[in-house]
Amino acid sequence: MVTETLQKKSGFIASLVAPFLEFRITGLDISDMSMKYLSFDRMKKNKLSIGVYGEIEYPAGIIINGEIKDEQKFIDVLKEWFIKEKKNLPSPFVAISLPEEKSFIRAVQIPHVKREDVANAIRWEIENQIPLSLDQLIYDYEVIEPLQDSQDHLDVIITAFPRDILNAYVRAIKGAGLELYAIELESQSILRACLPQLHDAEAKMIVDIGRTHTSFIIFAGGATFYTSTINMGGLIFEESIAKQINVSMERAKQIKIEIGLDKTQQNGDVFNALAPVVTMISDELVRSISYYHTHSSHAHGAAADIERVLISGGDANLRGIDTYLRNILKIPVERADPFSIIQSRLAHTAPLTKREALAFTTVIGLALREIRQN
């Protein structure tokens, strides 16, 4: 049963099985248009290899903006996948990520109370800052451990999620015959895959550019400090190209991959199609960084400025996007490597290329959950 409040740093909704048991799990990254899946196999001498992985697409309308609209059809999708892959999966246990756009994340300050009293103290903050009643939410919180001497207050990150939406995911997993190992926010999975150090002074931002949306995550002082999401991603890139140079969506996707933000190609038409969209992403990036600058005092001991930006997600592969963002932000921007943390443990070369791995960032982080905890 999913608990309503948790005091663990390991995830929004903690593991739903005993933590001392070692399970082999499969990560499921569920989005509006498709579901990616991936698991790791344990080899001899503490080595790992990628087990099953892939992506399945499903009809539009089953999930819209992260909310399951047709629960039975989604159960049917999961059930069909489970029947097909059952013999290849390490177990029926799955970890899933929740859509960031439906979550509420707030950084708050409360009086310096005993840790066992934090749960009661944050209830008032939740009622004041989140536009849903407590009985409509499932929430978690994390006390930010300061990297310098303690203050006269506690800084707490509150994460909340609408109960009805979360329960629909739980029912779908169970209805398909799968076992739910853990649920967490998409940002937590991305951070686990991309950051080798989860408790240091560096302030960094991850920009995850997916098919339909882009997420912005600031991690500082050992905690997720801020997240936001905009409905802008690879699909909009392709629509802009198709409209600008009058080609089909299929051809626009190929052009996006081949040319990207290269001004010298196609008389600059592709660049002109993409630049306004990428500028919207960069504008949100600038706003997010500005927010951190005005609130960084909450992350005691963390750097006052964002020191680097990592880009992940399938459309982080857009040619020239790292240079474009670097020129605007004037700080280092680089593509993430979701396998960097476990590279030394991989028994052989990963079947996914670095380019492909970026699209699997979230699901890699989900599959790493049990491995990094142990």
**Which contiguous run of DSSP H or E holds residue 243?**
helix 234-245
Residue 73 lies in a domain: yes
Please indicate, yes or no, if residue 6 is contained in any of the structural domains: no
List of the chain residues with pLDDT < 70: 1-23, 146-151, 198, 297-301, 372-374
pLDDT at 233: 93
For residue 250, is it within any domain?
Answer: no
Structural domains in the chain (count): 1
pLDDT at 19: 44
What is the pLDDT at residue 15? 47
- pTM, two decimals, is 0.86
pLDDT confidence of residue 42 = 77
* 50 within a domain of the structure (yes/no): yes
Say how many residues make up the chain.
374
The per-residue pLDDT for 119 is 87
In a domain, 253, yes or no: no
Q: Is residue 186 part of a domain?
A: yes
| DSSP assignment letter at 193 | H
Domain housing 85: 26-236+273-373
Is 248 inside a domain boundary?
Answer: no
CATH code of the domain covering residue 207: 3.30.420.40
Is 134 buried (19+), middle (13-18) or exposed (0-12) by CB count in 10 A? middle
Is residue 258 situated within a structural domain? no
Handedness of CA 331, 337, 342, 347 (dihedral sign): negative
